[in-house]
Amino acid sequence: MASKTIKISEENYRKLLVIASRLQIERNRIISFDEAIETMEIKKKESNDIMKFAGSWKLSNEEAETLIKDIYKERRIISRRL
């Protein structure tokens, strides 16, 4: 693996240092900045995945119908105001 030198601000360096130190405590081993960045990417992907919420909102058919009717009713009221 090739290594590269990059320039980052002191503030970002400190943030990365905090992330790496938390990972070291969590994993009980030394964590490189490279691994800390990879972990941040993975966690960001996981947090942006909307499919993790699939099926989490449970409604009965009656509740769903009532909700849909209320939404359409509200849309009609708004469109009349315009």
pLDDT, one tens digit per residue, over 50-69 is 777 777 778 888 888 998 99
CA-nearest of 36, 41, 11, 8 to 22 is 36
Q: Which residue has the tokens 């009221």?
A: 77
Q: Per the structure block, which two tokens stand in for 61? A: 């058919």
| Domains of the chain, residue spans | 10-50+57-81
pLDDT, one tens digit per residue, over 25-46 is 999 999 999 999 999 887 777 6
pLDDT at 81: 65
